[in-house]
Amino acid sequence: MAGGVVDTQYGPVQVGITVRGGRISKVHTLQHPSGDGQTDQINGYAVPQLNQETMAAQSAQIDTVSGATFTSEGYRQSLQSALDAAHKAGAR
């Protein structure tokens, strides 16, 4: 289930999840800011950390990664929209 694309100051962020048995079984980042060395370096460590925190928290209530505030906020928003969509799909 893909979350919405969230435009941040540094580029779009989009998160996809797989839900099995009411739990997030897989999370992957479909889009994240990239294009210059510093942005790529920041997101190179921030995105895996956000994915790991998502799996541990099983929600969008995860911490901001230091140095990646905009990506973290966009990630949370997209993740929450993916969770909302998964919940609606499961409620049918």
DSSP-assigned beta bridge partners for residue 31: 14
Query: Which tens digit of pLDDT belongs to each residue from 3-25?
Result: 999 999 999 999 999 999 989 99
Largest Cα separation within the chain, whole Å, is 44
pLDDT exceeds cutoff 70 at 85: yes
Task: Domains for the chain: give ranges and CATH numbers.
Answer: 6-86 (3.90.1010.20)
Query: Which tens digit of pLDDT belongs to each residue from 31-84?
Result: 999 988 999 999 999 999 999 999 999 999 999 999 999 999 999 999 999 999
Measuring CA to CA, which residue among 82, 77, 70, 80 is closest to residue 11? 70
Helices (H) and strands (E) in the chain, counts: 2, 3
Torsion over CA: 21, 82, 58, 14 (sign): positive
